[in-house]
Structure 1
């Protein structure tokens, strides 16, 4: 029994510390107090932060809103300026000062906007058409809206490097190799100035092309084929060949004139071999004289005897000065035309030759475009028959 009592006492002593509940209650109170203090301090800190930070956050949107108003007003002012330029002619007195007041309203709400750089830019761009005197000052600026038309005219005058005409400079354009195609031919016959078209004989469209040229009012010529010094080149049907007699030459030329005619003149197609033969080219000139037409030496050879044969017959002939389209390039053709202008200013006239199909994509349009400027610079354009004396 004594041992049991001792064991009970021991167990009681061991369990007693576990039953000290008041200490646990005290610890919970402290935790609650500490947590309450922490919550209170956090609340105080947040409220202070909100108090000190809220005015700054409120000011920024105000400034931003005012800046947006100013920017919007700038856009309205720019649009108003454009409308004023168009309306000031008919309504110079109807100025709208209310737009300036619309810009001033944000200044009354927030005077600190003067420090914003956006407003300074807007002040520089603001229109100030309040008084009638200021409107009169703006009128000359409005008059400067229409001058672009005069400037474009001045630019057009300088589009080509055309020198002023001298010595009554007269230009003659002959377009060779008609007879192959009627479409390309019409590109030349529709030009608004005099040209001559030389049509080849005995082609499928020779007579059609001759009729188109004649009906257009342009000058019709026979483009007489002749043998070149290069015997491999075929001059085509109706040509003057080296083995022909003088009577055969005369007969062939007369036959071709009758086919294409009535015509005003004749020039040679190729023919460097025939024009260098004074007898053969003389027979050609005999047919020219008998038919009452003029002759243009295309000068396919520098050794041509056509001038000598003409002198023997006491007749005057014309001579080609420039081949425009030896090279199919707009720049090269333009350079040859400029060269022709120089010859015309020196000698009083120039004969320039092109070809119907060879340069149809460039030359008709180029000549049509240059014509107003040539006319403005004082150049005359004539038929070959008009310059023969």
Structure 2
């Protein structure tokens, strides 16, 4: 049922004045059928009345439970072969689930450090964690080992010091965690201190333009999320209006060819490496025209096209003429985005973290904590998420828990990547 179409919400009228209706009612089977139909109609009326009841939080609650999409759910990101950081996120989730099962609060989980490392040309984040365990430590470690085995990632764990372990994937160290002695919590929580010099993060939500209720939920957050909008999305104009009215930055999310093309389809009007310069120029300009008010552009998929320096130069020349920045989503470590942007004089940014490859609220909040840790080390960081309800819920919770400690800002207010 399309809730935006009032005609579909109307109940059919019973044709009491139709000739032969009384004769129809004289038949026992017909009476039984009509009774069932009337009962169903009454139930539908009650359901509609309940669904229309006022609720001051309705817009946010609906945003987490319903979607208004005119087309089937799109493929948000191309699968990345042998991407170790995706495997790291699965280990993150297994650790989070083990902590939850041990009734260890996520507020007690401390992300001590995050370091960017490389393995076979792929970036990944080595993390150092600590948390208290009040119960049987041996049992907890056994549960961690069991959870790692369930990931089927060839993950191993070994103790490197007292109460300190290293987790590796295929022999590559990815996590170090330490078990702390539980502390007695203070009776009153410490007051929130607003830090005017708190580090900045930008949170971009890609693939916007299909789910209006989720767009409204993101716009209602106590943080300025950047909307990256598909030019050909079903509700691009309405999504642009929602972002403008709420003061959220707008970007263009331009489809580009992935390495799995054509099996993996980036969508209509994507930039392809077999296109000539004029075709690339025209498609780029059409995309820009469909998202008025945008301050920049980032790639949707594009692991193959962003490595295509000649094509990327054409894109950058158009961005330069219209004073738009380019944010590289970094779907390949061999992207030519930075080189092409520098050649064309385009302001360049680069994604640090993907938030929701694992669609779990706890895992997404943990990815946000990684982003914040990177920002504290470098002064700023950029995270990219996608329009799903777990991401909306995670951002809402994380922003509330970290108020005053971090600033969520538009991408354009960050220092460009040099």
How high is the TM-score relative to the length of structure 2? Answer: 0.52
The answer as to whether partners of 2:365 and 2:395 remain within 8 angstroms in 1 is no
Q: Distance in 2 between matches of 1:297 and 1:322?
A: 12
Q: Distance in 1 between matches of 2:227 and 2:325?
A: 14
Match of 1:320 in 2: 351
Q: How many residues align?
A: 230
Q: What pairs up with 1:76-225 in 2 under 5 angstroms?
A: 151=187, 153-154=189-190, 168-225=198-255
Pair 1:296 & 2:324 matched: no
Q: Check 1:265–1:314 CA distance in 2 against 1; reply closer, same or farther (3 A cut).
A: closer
The answer as to whether partners of 1:166 and 1:346 remain within 8 angstroms in 2 is no
Note the aligned Cα RMSD (angstroms). Answer: 2.3
Q: Distance in 2 between matches of 1:208 and 1:246?
A: 32
Q: What pairs up with 1:239-388 in 2 under 5 angstroms?
A: 239-356=270-387, 359-360=388-389, 362-377=390-405, 379-388=406-415
Q: Which has the larger radius of gyration?
A: 1
The answer as to whether partners of 1:226 and 1:270 remain within 8 angstroms in 2 is yes
Q: Which consecutive segments of 4 or more residues in structure 1 shift more than 3 A?
A: 150-154, 164-168
**Structure 1 residue 313 displacement after superposition:** 2.3
Unaligned 5+ segments in structure 2 are 1-185
Q: Distance in 1 between matches of 2:224 and 2:380?
A: 14
Q: Structure 1 or 2: larger strand share?
A: 2
Q: Structure 1 or 2: larger helix share?
A: 1
Q: Distance in 1 between matches of 2:230 and 2:312?
A: 18
The answer as to whether partners of 1:297 and 1:319 remain within 8 angstroms in 2 is yes
Q: Distance in 2 between matches of 1:242 and 1:274?
A: 6
**Structure 1 residue 374 displacement after superposition:** 2.2
- SS of the aligned residue for 1:268 comes to strand
| CA displacement 1:69-95 (0-9 Å, x = unmatched) | xxxxxxxxxxxxxxxxxxxxxxxxxxx
| CA displacement 1:115-156 (0-9 Å, x = unmatched) | xxxxxxxxxxxxxxxxxxxxxxxxxxxxxxxxxxx94544x9
**Structure 1 residue 342 displacement after superposition:** 1.5
Q: Distance in 1 between matches of 2:310 and 2:197?
A: 36
- SS of the aligned residue for 1:375 comes to coil
- SS of the aligned residue for 1:215 comes to helix
Q: Distance in 1 between matches of 2:363 and 2:267?
A: 28
Match of 1:227 in 2: 257
Q: Distance in 1 between matches of 2:196 and 2:308?
A: 37
Q: Distance in 1 between matches of 2:359 and 2:400?
A: 23
How high is the TM-score relative to the length of structure 1? Answer: 0.56
**Structure 1 residue 329 displacement after superposition:** 1.0
**Structure 1 residue 291 displacement after superposition:** 1.3
Match of 2:25 in 1: none
Q: Distance in 1 between matches of 2:411 and 2:321?
A: 19
